[in-house]
Amino acid sequence: MEITEIQMFGSAAAAVTDVTAPGDSITAVGGAAANGFEASKAIDNQTATKYVNDGGADSGYEVTPASGASIVNSLAFKTADNNPDADPGSYKLEGQLADGSYATISEQNLSLPAARHNASTRVYFSNIVPFSKYRLTFPTLKVVSSSTMQITEVWMFGTAYSAPTGPSGPGVLLKLTDDTWQGTDSANAHGAGTDTLTLSAAGVAALTGGMAITDSASGASVKFADSGSTTYSTPINVTLDDAAAGAITFDGKTSFAGSASLSAATSRNIVISSNAEVKTVNGSLSLSANQQSAATEGNFSGVAVSGVVEATGSGVVTVAGRAGSKSTQSELCGVKLDGGRIVGGIAGTLDITGHGGIGITNALSIPNKLVGVSLTNTSTITSAGANVQVIGTGGDSDAGWDDGISVLAGSTITAGGGRCGHRHWKRRRYGHCPQGDPR
């Protein structure tokens, strides 16, 4: 499983209408429509016309409403002008999935009026899943021996659906890549059988213990998409613990309100993109990459920060990263800040621990830079009052630069009123960098 994005969103309620209309794309299924009695007649809003299918039972139609995706939760029917034996005796409504297959929305027996050109009472059912294309078939007819099916009009009542395009409310959207969510839809969570799981605001609120995303499959990865000004109000815990897990990536803003916390851990690496802001107020913020007993091999730095990681209140910030091992890449750091900022809160601690990788001289014989904690391009580690501790252990290379901590190109490590300790481990040598020493 690969989670493409996690995003906050919201949407307004929509009016219930017939989602089909004359002119919609519609084709007969289960048999051939009689000449002059095409499937389109079932949605033309005309009593004088009717849809007749010579296939009898199990015939029906597929329709793609021009109005777009919708959530259908009731049906109604109008009988034809004659031959009540050919009236549908049951229905099956399905919605088309992303892979082209169909998922059943509802199926029930029908008892249509004996009177001709008469509308049935509306048939209701529970559904909160949106679809853009529907298939409606009639598995049985009023009289089993009837060789044709006919109906004057069918109404599909539902609400228009617009997929969230940006954060504007308190729900959560989780989207998979190359997989589908399994489970049962409810009033507060839907998306079973699709690649997108949507939690309503009430669904998020019901997660009193927080939201946990755990994946032990090879190649699993998670990306937090931009949630804008919307904040998470419940703790989130992400764990990718397979030896061949993928990265956890933050793109855009990811903010936690109050004491809500974030814990993100993977056996590979974490990336804070240049446009990303990962923030808490009083909740803890923990980023852990490649911390299992056997380091993951590969060309990556453990935690790469080009954006911002910050606690604005009393939240504790902990960052631990270890670079990939047996790599020929020229720069593999445990925690690498390249124009990035890691900021501790007004109290508590900011702890950063990095371990350089295990490198092999690359094809160009360029020595590896296997630094425990590296700051470059005016990067900053600081706090608004919390104590700051940075521990770096250089990696191991047959020919490389393996400082415990490297502070270059206008970068700084300070503490806003608190204590600041820097520990360098270079191979087996230990050194201490006092506060303000730009090394």
In 3D space, the residue among 341, 227, 213, 237 whose CA is nearest the CA of residue 287 turns out to be: 237
Q: Percentage of the chain with pLDDT > 90?
A: 56
For the stretch 51-77, pLDDT in tens is 999 999 999 999 999 999 999 999 999
Cα 203 to Cα 171: distance, rounded to the nearest angstrom: 8
Q: Choose the weakest-confidence range: 146-160, 189-203, 233-247, 319-333.
A: 189-203
For the stretch 317-367, pLDDT in tens is 999 999 988 666 667 899 999 999 999 999 889 999 999 887 665 554 444
Q: Per residue in 143-157, is it b (16+ CB within 10 Å) or e — as a string?
A: eeebebbbbbbbbbb
The pLDDT mean for the chain works out to 84
- 359 strand-pairing partners: 327, 397
Res. 403: pLDDT tops 90: no
Spatial contact of 203 and 228, defined as CB atoms under 8 Å apart: no
**pTM (two decimals):** 0.60
pLDDT band at 181 (very low <50, low <70, confident <90, very high): confident
Structure token pair of residue 66: 């021009």
For the stretch 264-281, pLDDT in tens is 999 999 999 999 999 999
Q: Average pLDDT of 371-382?
A: 93
pLDDT at residue 301 in the model: 92
pLDDT at residue 166 in the model: 36
Structure token pair of residue 326: 């047996």
Cα 400 to Cα 357: distance, rounded to the nearest angstrom: 11
79 vs 190: which has the higher pLDDT: 79
Residue with tokens 């989670």: 3
394 vs 265: which has the higher pLDDT: 265
For the stretch 25-41, pLDDT in tens is 999 999 999 899 999 99
Structure token pair of residue 99: 């892979």
φ/ψ of residue 86, rounded to 5: -90, 0
pLDDT at residue 169 in the model: 43
Q: Output the DSSP codes for 382-436.
A: EESSSEEEEEEE--EESSEE--SEEE-TT-EE--SSS-EEEEEEETTEEEEE-TT
Spell out the residues 6+ positions from residue 48 whose beta carbon is closer than 8 angstroms to its own: none
Q: Choose the weakest-confidence range: 74-78, 99-103, 417-421.
A: 417-421
pLDDT band at 156 (very low <50, low <70, confident <90, very high): very high
Q: Average pLDDT of 386-400?
A: 79
